[in-house]
Amino acid sequence: MSAILYVRPVGHEFPSFLALPEAEGMRSCSVHELKAADFEQADAIIVPSHVDQRALAAHAEALEVFLDRGGSLVFNGHLVYPVLRGLECFVPARGGRVEDLLVERVAEHPVFEGVELQDLSFRRGVAGFYGRGANPPPPGAQVLHRLKGDGSPVDWYWERPAGGRVLMHGGNPLWMYVDDPSSAARIAPQLLRWLKAGFQPGV
C-alpha cells in the first residue's frame, strides 16, 4: 500500500474527497509545514490547485529526489513557479467560447475510466470548469485530455526518465467533481486507488 501525502492548500478543500474510504491513511500536511521527512516518507504526493506554489517551490529539490526514487506526483492547478525542474509554466487557452472549452480524450487512463467527456466539459450546463489552458507537457509525456479549441493539453501523464511519474491537471482539483451527480464523481476514488496500487514503470 502506498503512503499518500496530501499537501494542504490555502483553504477551498473538499471534505467529501478527504472523507472517501479510499482516502483512509492519507496524510495531510500544510504546504507551510512541509519537512524533508515528509518527502522521504511518501510514495505519492497530491498537490491541490489552491496551494501556495511559492512555498512548494522552496522544496523543489526534495520533490525531484522524491520522484527520482520512484514517487508519484499529482499536480493540480496552473504552474507558475519552479516547483519541478523541467516543467514549463501554464499557458492560457486561446478562445473562451463554449465549443473551445469542450474536453477531448486523447488517451485512456485508469483515473478517468468510465468518466464521460460530457461530464468534464459541463457542470450544470456550464462549460469551462475543467480547464482554461494547460501546463505544457515535457517530451515523452502522454496527453490524456485536451481542449477542443486550441488543443491545450489540460491533462497529461509522464513517466520521468530519471524516475517517478507525474499526473498533471492544469485546472481546478480533479476531485472537485466528487459530489457531482455524474460520471465525473468517479475521478476522485479512482485517483486514490490508482496511487495506492503503487508504481511500476511501464505498466
Partner 1 sequence: MKSIAFIDGGTYYHHATYHDPELARYFAASIYAPELNDTDLAPFDCLYVASRQEAEFLVRAKRSFDAFLAAGKTVVVMSDTCAEDWVPGVRWQPAPVNFWWWLTPGADSGLRLAAPDHPLVQAVGLEAFTWHQHGYLLPPAGAVSLVDLASGGSVFYEDRVSTPGRLLVSTLDPCYHHGSYFMPATTRFLRGFLPWLAADDAG
Binding span for partner 1 by CB under 8 A among 49-57, 63-71, 113-121, 174-182: 49-57
* CA 112-109-136 angle, 5° bins: 95
Burial (0-12, 13-18, 19+ Cβ within 10 Å), 7: buried
1-20 residues near partner 1, rule: CB under 8 A = 9-12
State how far the Cα of 186 lies from the Cα of 11, in Å rounded to an integer. 23
State how far the Cα of 46 lies from the Cα of 8, in Å rounded to an integer. 9
100 binds partner 1 (CB under 8 A): no
Least distance from C-beta 88 to partner 1, angstroms? 14
Q: Which of 26, 34, 45, 51: binder of partner 1 (CB under 8 A)?
A: 51
Q: Which lies closer to partner 1 via its Cβ, residue 32 or residue 69?
A: 32
Name the β-bridge partners of 147: 103
State how far the Cα of 126 lies from the Cα of 195, in Å rounded to an integer. 30
55 binds partner 1 (CB under 8 A): yes
Least distance from C-beta 57 to partner 1, angstroms? 9
Size of the site for partner 1 (CB under 8 A): 28
Name the β-bridge partners of 156: 143, 168
Q: Which of 86, 92, 161, 201: binder of partner 1 (CB under 8 A)?
A: 92
Least distance from C-beta 1 to partner 1, angstroms? 31
Least distance from C-beta 68 to partner 1, angstroms? 25
Q: Which lies closer to partner 1 via its Cβ, residue 9 or residue 194?
A: 9
State how far the Cα of 198 lies from the Cα of 93, in Å rounded to an integer. 33
The three grid cell numbers given for residue 129, joined into one nine-digit string: 470548469
C-alpha torsion sign, points 107, 112, 113, 118: negative
Residues near partner 1 (CB under 8 A) are 9-12, 32, 49-55, 77-81, 90, 92-93, 96, 124-126, 128, 132-133, 172
